[in-house]
């Protein structure tokens, strides 16, 4: 995919070689005593590009993590940050384990040991390399990592900026948990603001009423499905999980489905929906929008010819293989690429990092000023019309932006601007016949310009 975009813009071969491969990969093996036995864990941290510092990327805990995956995801992070104009280089980390097999205390010991190993080689640092949550990790693990880093470097005033995705009560930021899913929503909203692009996908109108299939009810899939259905009027007709899929032509209540899954451990038997144990086959269900929000390589050369969605919205990293991408493109299926659409997480991580470095929450200094200005505006309007305004109207005018409002505004603006830049390339250049190639062109140009300006 990189090669196709590089060829489209005639990128210098030497510069392409610099940009294409990871700069460094750190593999670590470390022991932790678990239930009286010493276990050795294997982990990686890859740095793809240092054209911007710090480098940024999540850490995943999964039994299938390996070096190739970590390197590929690190590269994706470089392109993702460039597309949405977040000034980070790309990095990624992974630990080969199944979190379900360990208690919280055991995971804490493993996470703290991993943090110490990363810190020894500066693969975690507020100024050099900043991890975040990924598959198998979350705010809890980030809090452990931040605390361990602070113990190692107690004089570093910016120590809490060594990771993002922390709990809001531990120097995190409101809106980070749902940020990737919210970014998917904002990205699709922007796509549907452009009728010409919607028509290319063989669709019309807005998100309202569109039939959506969502694969994955993890953090990203859950929030994307919830926001699209509750706020944009989309109809989630199918949700796919590892143990099967549920279908409901009238739409699925995502909140109720999530509660049912928490209580029962699965989707089977959810009231008002049909269950099919073959979840993979549900990727081929008739729908308008398919949102793969699980793991990599879910749409392949084998099933791509049977995908019936007109629009594939990549909420996960790498859910469509290169061969499948070629097939979908040849069939006229529009794919909104992952390193644009799921950039909400790294965007809000950037906001959290800024907050940690500035040591003040967003909105704290200006909110009351906004209220004072609103009071003066209300007073002027009431004096002009000779009667008081309705209380609810006054309340709406006086409401100043809090941290969550600021974060959502910044994320929405980021997703809008990034899509507009990508679509401009998509429509302007005949050598970029799809959104993915256009997004790569945007990212490659920005990274190449950075290297050239630095004299590399």
What is the rounded CA–CA span in Å between residue 257 and residue 279? Answer: 16
Q: Is the dihedral of CA 444, 450, 453, 455 positive or negative?
A: negative
What number of H helices and E strands is found in the chain?
16, 12
Could you confirm whether 446 is annotated as catalytic?
no
Catalytic residue selected from 20, 56, 80, 92? 92
Contact criterion met (CB below 8 Å) for 139 and 166 = yes
What is the rounded CA–CA span in Å between residue 207 and residue 45? Answer: 39
Q: What are phi and psi of 441, to 5 degrees?
A: -60, -45
Contact criterion met (CB below 8 Å) for 236 and 198 = no
Instruction: Give the number of other CB atoms < 10 A from CB of residue 287.
Output: 23
pLDDT tens across the length of the chain (456 residues): 888 888 888 888 888 888 888 899 999 999 999 999 999 999 999 999 888 899 999 999 999 999 999 999 999 999 999 999 999 999 999 999 999 999 999 999 999 999 999 999 889 999 999 999 998 999 999 999 999 999 999 999 999 999 999 999 999 999 888 999 999 999 999 999 999 999 999 999 999 999 999 999 888 999 999 999 999 999 999 999 988 999 998 999 999 999 999 888 888 888 988 998 888 898 999 999 999 998 888 899 999 999 999 999 999 988 999 999 999 999 999 999 998 999 999 999 999 999 999 998 887 777 777 778 888 888 888 888 888 888 888 777 777 677 888 899 999 999 999 999 999 999 886 655 789 999 999 999 999 888 888 776
Burial group, residue 404, by CB count within 10 angstroms (0-12, 13-18, 19+): middle
Q: Is the pTM of this model over 0.85?
A: yes
Residue 377 Cα distances to 366, 372, 393, 436, angstroms: 17, 9, 12, 46
pLDDT of residue 358: 93
> What domains can be seen in the chain, in order of their start residue?
2-12+24-178+415-453 (3.40.50.10860), 202-332 (3.40.50.720)
Q: Is the dihedral of CA 266, 270, 273, 275 positive or negative?
A: positive
Helix (H, G, I), strand (E, B) or coil at 170: helix
pLDDT of residue 456: 66
Contact criterion met (CB below 8 Å) for 209 and 236 = no
∠ CA 295-441-163, rounded to 5°: 50
Contact criterion met (CB below 8 Å) for 50 and 23 = yes
pLDDT of residue 432: 59
What is the rounded CA–CA span in Å between residue 92 and residue 131? Answer: 7
């Amino acid at each position: 995919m990189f090669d196709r975009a590089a060829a489209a813009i005639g990128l210098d071969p030497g510069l392409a070689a610099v940009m294409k491969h990871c700069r460094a990969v750190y593999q670590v093996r470390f022991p932790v005593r678990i239930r009286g036995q010493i276990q050795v864990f294997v982990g990686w941290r890859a740095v793809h590009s240092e054209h911007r510092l710090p480098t940024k990327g999540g850490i995943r805990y999964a039994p299938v993590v390996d070096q190739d995956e970590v390197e590929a995801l690190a590269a994706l992070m470089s392109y993702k940050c460039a597309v949405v104009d977040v000034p980070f280089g790309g990095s990624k980390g992974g630990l080969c384990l199944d979190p379900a097999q360990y208690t919280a205390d055991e995971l804490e010991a493993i996470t703290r040991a991993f943090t110490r190993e990363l810190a020894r080689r500066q693969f975690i640092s507020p100024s050099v390399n900043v991890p975040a949550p990924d598959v198998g990790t979350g705010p809890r693990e980030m809090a452990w990592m931040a605390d361990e880093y602070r113990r190692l470097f107690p004089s570093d005033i910016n120590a809490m900026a060594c990771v993002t995705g922390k709990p809001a009560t531990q120097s995190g930021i409101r809106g980070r948990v749902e940020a990737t899913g919210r970014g998917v929503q904002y990205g699709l909203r922007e796509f549907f603001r452009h009728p010409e692009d919607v028509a290319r996908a063989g669709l019309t109108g807005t998100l309202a009423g569109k039939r959506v299939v969502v694969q994955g009810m993890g953090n990203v899939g859950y929030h994307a499905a919830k926001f699209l259905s509750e706020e944009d009027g989309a109809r989630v007709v199918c949700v796919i999980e590892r143990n099967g899929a549920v279908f409901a032509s009238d739409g699925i209540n995502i909140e109720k489905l999530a509660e049912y899954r928490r209580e029962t451990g699965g989707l089977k038997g959810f009231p008002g929906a049909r269950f099919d144990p073959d979840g993979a086959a549900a990727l081929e269900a008739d729908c308008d929008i398919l949102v793969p929000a699980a793991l990599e390589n879910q749409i392949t050369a084998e099933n791509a010819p049977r995908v019936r969605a007109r629009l594939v919205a990549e909420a996960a990293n790498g859910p469509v293989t290169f061969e499948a991408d070629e097939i979908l493109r040849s069939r006229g299926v529009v794919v909104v690429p992952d390193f644009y659409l799921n950039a909400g997480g790294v965007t809000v991580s950037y906001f959290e990092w800024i907050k940690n470095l500035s040591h003040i929450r967003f909105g704290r200094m200006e909110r009351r000023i906004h209220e004072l200005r609103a009071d003066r505006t209300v007073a002027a309007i009431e004096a002009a019309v000779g009667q008081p305004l309705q209380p609810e109207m006054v309340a709406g005018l006086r409401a100043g932006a809090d941290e969550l409002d600021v974060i959502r505004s910044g994320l929405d603006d980021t997703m809008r601007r990034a899509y507009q830049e990508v679509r401009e390339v998509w429509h302007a250049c005949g050598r970029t016949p799809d959104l993915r190639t256009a997004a790569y062109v945007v990212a490659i140009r920005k990274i190449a310009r950075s290297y050239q300006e630095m004299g590399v």
